[in-house]
Every structure is written in structure tokens, then in C-alpha cells.
Amino acid sequence: MNFAADHPARDMQDTFFIQRSPDVLLRTHTSSVQSRVMEQSQPPIRIICPGRVYRNEAISARAHCFFHQVEALYVDKNVSFADLRQTLLYFAREMFGADTQIRLRPSYFPFTEPSAEMDISCNLCGGKGCSFCKHTGWVEILGCGMVDPAVLEACGIDSSVYSGFALGMGVERITNLKYQVNDLRLFSENDTRFLDEFTAAHK
């Protein structure tokens, strides 16, 4: 996935290693699924891959050291950044409502070029500013970008013929916004009163 040997994702300070097996670490991304699919398949490729991930991060109302990630990958002929943007806009409006706005900010990920982070207008405060959106009116929900040609080539896919986009998001962050929960920690504290709010009614 184009990770350099000194990339933070391989660093002791950024990941959780198994103490008695220093060569074994808990995965920080579900991107490994993307690479395996590309190694074993030829385009067109359209996948969604969910899974639990672990990162050595400070726990707060907006972040946790473990969470559930969903990644998507689309590789085919003539896939463009415009396709990525339209997919993201459609997803955001289907998930959060027709009035939801998005913005893409330039970013860096080793496996995509160009790369971006996507924000949506905060639906907890209606874009007016609150503690969850850090009083900006915007909340970051995912990272995305065009698959780096070097990644395609490393997986045996001809980058002169095919292109693609990838994106990854945290399920808990999406749920925070969808159900207007202002503290991500609530999902892992096992308070049955909170969890029961998400139980579907049985008839």
C-alpha cells in the first residue's frame, strides 16, 4: 500500500503490538483487504470492507483507541476524482439528509494521490458551531483519494489502463452524527440504557 519503512503506521508509538510477539501488531487500517483483493482480482473491482481497527490515540469524545472502520475501493477504466466526489456527496445526503454539504480538504495518505479528507456540515448544531465540531460548523468523517498508480502496479494492475478511488471511515463517527450522539466513548462503555436506544423494536 505504498507505506515507507519509516511511516508512522509501522511505528511503536502509533500502533499496538502484542507484548510477547513483537512482530505481531493489531491492524491500524482495513486497507490490507484492498491490497489482497487487487492482488487476486483484475478490474472492474468494487468492494466494501468493514473491520475493527486499533490505534494508539488519546481517547476523547471524538476519538478512541479502537473503532470499526469501513473502506471502499473502486477500480475500473476512466475512474476520476469527479466520480469520487459525486459518490461521497450522494452518500452524505443519503445518510445525513438532502441539505448536507460536503467539503474536501487536501491531505496525504501513502496509498492515494491526490488525497483528501472529507468534512460534512455538522448536523448536531446545524453548522452554527458546537463542541463536537470544534465550533467550525464542519466535522471530518472520512479520508479518501485516487489510488496511487504505484499501488496498482504493485498489485499487478496496469495503471496506464485502470484508475480508481478509495475511501475509509469510522462507523462510530458516522453514528455520532446520524443519531446526534455527542460523545463517541458511549459506544464502548456498555451502558445498557444507552445501547437499548439502538435496539430495533420487535413486533
Percentage above 90 pLDDT, the chain:
47
Average pLDDT over residues 120-133: 84
d(CA 177, CA 132): 10
Q: Would you call 197 helix, strand, or coil by DSSP? A: helix
What are the beta bridge partners of residue 166?
73, 145
- Whether 76 and 43 have beta carbons less than 8 Å apart is answered as yes
pLDDT tens by residue, 59-109: 877 778 788 899 999 999 999 999 999 999 999 999 999 999 999 999 998
The burial of 109, by beta-carbon neighbours within 10 Å (0-12 exposed, 13-18 middle, 19 or more buried), is given as buried
Closest by CA to 185, choosing from 52, 66, 51, 53, is 66
pLDDT tens by residue, 108-122: 988 899 999 999 998
Position 202 scores a pLDDT of 43
pLDDT tens by residue, 8-24: 555 555 677 777 776 77
- Whether 128 and 107 have beta carbons less than 8 Å apart is answered as no
Position 13 scores a pLDDT of 55
The band of 4, judged by pLDDT with boundaries at 50, 70 and 90, is low
Has residue 175 got a pLDDT over 90? no
- Greater model confidence, 185 or 90: 90
d(CA 155, CA 117): 25
Closest by CA to 153, choosing from 64, 75, 49, 60, is 75
Phi/psi at 143 (nearest 5 deg)? -110, 150
Q: What are the start-end ranges of the E strands in the chain?
A: 17-18, 21-25, 45-54, 66-76, 102-109, 112-121, 138-147, 163-170
Cα 82 from chain centre: 19
Question: Can you list the domains of the chain with their CATH numbers?
Answer: 9-182 (3.30.930.10)
Has residue 46 got a pLDDT over 80? yes
Has residue 201 got a pLDDT over 50? no
Entry pTM: 0.81
What are the beta bridge partners of residue 121?
138
- Whether 20 and 60 have beta carbons less than 8 Å apart is answered as no
